[in-house]
Chains A and B, each alone.
Chain A
């Protein structure tokens, strides 16, 4: 399977703990995106990378959140000192450089529950 994969799919953590999610994009895609989605809402943009460069960050990405893509392939999203409001599905997506609407493809998401 050559789709976007995310790990773990589900994570339950206690408030105050740190969590890290991993995303492996489609292999030939150089753009990688992180989104957050809460119940009843559409995905909200967090950040995106072109290769290893983080080109844009949302204001939603507080200083407790950090994303990396060190070699321009997989990416990690770390949340430090989790809060209950961080409970959401974290979606990763990737796209290739080029025209044709820059189609992005999503992974299945990582569910975070902070208790």
Chain B
């Protein structure tokens, strides 16, 4: 059972467009991570957020952690074909546990 909802499930856009994907939970997070995964490979960490309201930028990617620490978003500016992949969020529900729960992911395709 997945406790994290990610939306949208699929997204196909043209190169140069902006997009936002979302990660929501009914539970408060201790920390949250975003990963990108390409077919046949393991997930690659993009960012970790631990503080409510935190905003982190990674080049054209902007990650936001909700104030209540129950949601997060990833915004990509001027998407490129190299951004294509499965975007996963993962959380730990509370301090002291190291079990990460993953969402089902958003599959992004950026068309040239």
* Contact status B48-A101, CB under 8 Å: yes
Question: Which of B41, B45, B88, B104 touches A109 (beta carbons < 8 Å)?
Answer: B41
What number of A residues sit within 8 Å (CB to CB) of B? Answer: 28
* Contact status A103-B33, CB under 8 Å: yes
Residues B65-112 near A (CB distance < 8 A): 88, 90, 92, 97-105
Find chain A residues with CB under 8 A from B99 CB.
Answer: 33, 45, 48, 56
* Contact status B45-A105, CB under 8 Å: yes
Cβ distance B60 to chain A, nearest Cβ, rounded Å: 22
Distance of A107 Cα from B37 Cα, bound (Å): 11
Cβ distance A61 to chain B, nearest Cβ, rounded Å: 12
* Contact status A107-B31, CB under 8 Å: no
Provided the pairs A91-B42, A103-B33, A108-B42 are in contact, do residues A43 and B102 lie with their beta carbons within 8 angstroms?
Answer: yes
Classify chain B's interface size: 20 to 34
Provided the pairs A91-B42, A108-B42, A109-B42 are in contact, do residues A102 and B92 lie with their beta carbons within 8 angstroms?
Answer: yes
Distance of A73 Cα from B36 Cα, bound (Å): 26
* Contact status A41-B104, CB under 8 Å: yes
Q: Does A100 contact B (CB under 8 A)?
A: yes
Q: How many A-B residue pairs have CB under 8 A?
A: 69
* Contact status B42-A102, CB under 8 Å: no
Distance of A107 Cα from B97 Cα, bound (Å): 21
Q: Does B28 contact A (CB under 8 A)?
A: no
Q: Does B26 contact A (CB under 8 A)?
A: no
Cβ distance A36 to chain B, nearest Cβ, rounded Å: 11
Q: Does A28 contact B (CB under 8 A)?
A: no
Cβ distance A67 to chain B, nearest Cβ, rounded Å: 14
Distance of A100 Cα from B54 Cα, bound (Å): 14
Q: Does B52 contact A (CB under 8 A)?
A: no
Interface set of A (CB-CB < 8 Å, partner B): 4, 31, 33, 35, 40-45, 48, 50, 55-56, 91, 93, 95, 100-109, 111
Interchain residue pairs with CB less than 8 A apart (13): A33-B98, A40-B104, A45-B100, A48-B98, A100-B50, A101-B31, A101-B48, A101-B49, A101-B50, A104-B33, A104-B98, A104-B100, A106-B35
